[in-house]
Chains A and B, each alone.
Chain A
Amino acid sequence: MRMWAQSHLWQKPQRLNSVLAVAFALTILILGASTSANALPAFARKYGLRCSACHESWPALNNFGLKFRDNGYQLMNDRDAPIWQNPGYWPVTFRITPIWHRVSRLNQVDTYDSTTGAITGSTAQRINSTGFDLSGLDFHTGGTLEKNISFYVLPSSDSTGAFHFESVNARIDNIGGSPWLNIRLGRFELNNLLSEKRTLWLTANGGIYQTYHFSPVGDGNIAGQMGANQFGMEYMGHSVDDRTRISAALLSSNSGNVGLIMGANSYSGFFTFDQAFDAGKLGTERVGAYAFVGEAATYYLTDSSGGAGAVPIPGSGIGNKGFSRVGFYGQFYLGPHFDLNVVTQHGSDNAWFGQGYGDAIATDGDGGATATCSSPVNGPGCPPNNTPGTTLPVGSQAPTWNGYTFEARYVYSPQLIFKAVYEAERMSQQATPGTPSNLGNINNYSIGYRYNPYMTSRSGFAYFGEFNLFHQDLTGPINSAGNPTNVNTSELLFGIDFDF
């Protein structure tokens, strides 16, 4: 998943060449994955409602859309069961986003001798590239199997054409006739009030919420990314009008990868509560809190029989260590046109994660394991493994940080929305004493718009444009003086987002 990519990107400054070499590919992957939002004309067709009924601006949900989702994709109007649909109705939506974009980023670039052509070294150099592009293709399918029994399946391809299952889950709602008892099983998006899967953003760094994926530089915990779709079981309850919502999910600590490739018995929990209240002419305000706590493996058995070194064995992870992400949500409407979404986070990883333990099993991000480390574990270029007898470096401590996301939206009309987001991630304690206190800090800015030239219940279509600035301290290429630079990446993107 892109979250894995994001975290690992900042974990290995000592391998900047290789990291930056795949940065562009990851950018494309991220872009592809970030289009996996859940906006379904299939639902609109079923109920005869315009997209705008459920989406503040497609694909971001409004309160009515949130209630629809919380009811298991049902309006609760006695027309929810499939038997009410024309037999020819098939709940499938295709979504694709052709774009043009300009990316400006700093790379580690080889330098050459002008006469011999031999490589003489390397330096940091900015590369600007433009071009037409294509994000992934999503096949959204979801709806009711019977009243109060629903499903959601999202096979999604990235820009290379590789498919993975972004979401696969079934849910049973209103058990015993109570909206307070709903169960979901499978791979699903966590109950984040500010949904990343329904984000209005499509740039590589703006299309994900940094707060949902932040990981300290060198940190080996891949399980703590709340923006990633996760495998597990979720209990969810809400009031009839959806003003009060609670959820608790038991998850495998594998960052949503299939096949039990990570820890043998590693679980985490994600808990949320939020409450909305009327504020007169201002609108409906909502505040809430979340906690993502759990454990993930730091030790893997290895197999060297293949001659490729001590390759970690998928599924053998033990030596669980803890992590936590806690914070607040806020969704504040300031009249009918303007709203501000706020997410805060205080994150903490065990000191073992802080020293890079935990990610010995490389994942391809699409639900599979890829053993890419050909050297013995703990060897050069390979992530460390918490084998018996291993001790942490003296002074190692649990890395902690704080994150803030502010997303503002100005809804000029149901067809035109302007948007802006600012994110700040700040390390409060580095894992290794003496590390620069700002190493890995992030500032992320995006502005943009989406314009829907028409609104019907048959398809979604939007012109959109975005500009993103991404900055991270001390994780860029090594400059000519031998010092790490800051990452400064910008992306300008225009395109057409449509589904049908």
Chain B
Amino acid sequence: MNSLKPMRFISAGLFTAIPCTAILGLFLAIGSTPRAFAQEAPDVGPKPPVVVKPRESHIGNITGHSADGKSDYRRYCAGCHGDYGDSNGENAIWLDPKPRDFTIATFKCRSTLTGTLPTDEDLFNTIGRGLTNSNMPVWNTFTKQQKADLVAYIKIFSPRWEHEKAGTPITIPAEPAVTIDSISHGKALFTKLECWKCHGTHGEGDGPSASTLTDSKDNPIRPYNFALGKNDSRFKCGSTNQDIYKIFMTGVDGTPMPSFADVIQPNDAWDLVHFLRTLQVNRHSKENEVLSAAHGVIPPYVDKTPAPAAAPADSKSPGGGQ
């Protein structure tokens, strides 16, 4: 086999490569304009105004480190959330809803009570799940370590993580069986708690208050439309019945969606979950099966307590099949 004569060949290449490296240097110098730097991340552009402390996250037996999350944050997150986590990435102006502002550490999807910091696992799950009806993708191609590092990194942006501890996750009791009575009770709660004012009587996100809603930064915000979803439908913070339970018991911080933890009892909350599922009329669910077995009619809820506040006379009655 004939052999390559590498030294002669390589030396010829190097002879040319050396002056061309100078050309490269010129290219790089030209490329390093102030404008370019202005869009870059903290480690190559202007230094952050505040010296941040390294943070950690703990998810199971995985420990995330903010230093390890920096590169991925720049790569995947900074375009929307901003290099400084202040939701001022170059794409933020085009997004609706706006990206999360990590500097105020207010998070929508939590297992903790309203007003408290989420657990590391809450943030970890949000990254992997994405946020439906927004531009936040499902980052489920990341390794667990990557997600843990990113959780640690976004904690550097707010001093709340230094002074506060994450809230305690709420306890979710076992789900009772779905019955037409639980759906009926849930419907009554939907009316009593005035969910319809935002979500609409049929859960289509068209309640009388829907058009007036804004988030905590005064950006317009739309209530969830239950009716749109099909079998692959997701909520902002999950897709299971447990997730729905958690959403209205903890609230969606930063939005008008309050926490109902102080208002309803756990079993009542499950009834509300069962009713909400029937608003997803295009989704196959055990709740819709029960409703179908009842010929699509939700019977009036019989209760000895005083009658709930009535819906406006001209509005449709909530619930599927009526």
The residues of A with any CB-CB pair to B shorter than 8 Å are 47-50, 52-53, 62-64, 66-67, 75-79, 100, 102, 104, 177, 240-242, 278-281, 283-284, 336, 413-415, 436-438, 441, 443, 451, 453-457, 463, 465, 467, 469, 471, 473-474, 486, 488, 490, 492, 494, 496
Contact = CB atoms under 8 A, between A and B. Distances in A.
Contacts of A494: 20, 23-24, 27
B44 A413 contact: yes
A416 to B, nearest CB: 9
B282 interface: no
A438 B2 contact: yes
Contact of A283 (B32, B91, B134, B143): B143
Contacts, number: 150
A492 B68 contact: no
B140 interface: yes
B16 A492 contact: yes
Interface string B1-45: 110110001101100110010011001100111011001100110
B143 A492 contact: no
A52 B13 contact: no
Interface residues on B, range: 35 or more
A467 B17 contact: yes
B135 A79 contact: yes
A282 to B, nearest CB: 9
A75 B33 CA distance: 33
Interface in B137-152: 137-146
A177 B143 CA distance: 25
Given A414-B71, A467-B13, A490-B9, A454 B2 contact: no
A471 B138 contact: no
Given A49-B91, A50-B75, A177-B231, A77 B136 contact: yes
B32 A453 contact: yes
26 contacts: A48-B95, A49-B76, A49-B79, A52-B75, A62-B141, A64-B76, A64-B139, A66-B141, A77-B134, A77-B137, A78-B132, A242-B141, A280-B145, A284-B141, A414-B74, A436-B1, A453-B32, A454-B39, A455-B39, A455-B74, A456-B79, A469-B10, A469-B13, A486-B4, A488-B4, A494-B27
A104 B15 CA distance: 12
Contacts of A64: 76, 137, 139, 141-142
Contacts of B207: none
Q: Which 9 A-B pairs have the closest CB atoms?
A: A453-B31, A438-B1, A48-B91, A63-B141, A50-B79, A454-B36, A241-B140, A414-B75, A52-B75
A240 B129 CA distance: 11
Interface string B170-202: 000000000000000000000000000000000
A427 to B, nearest CB: 10
B36 A453 contact: yes
A177 B94 contact: no
B237 interface: no
Contacts of A438: 1-2
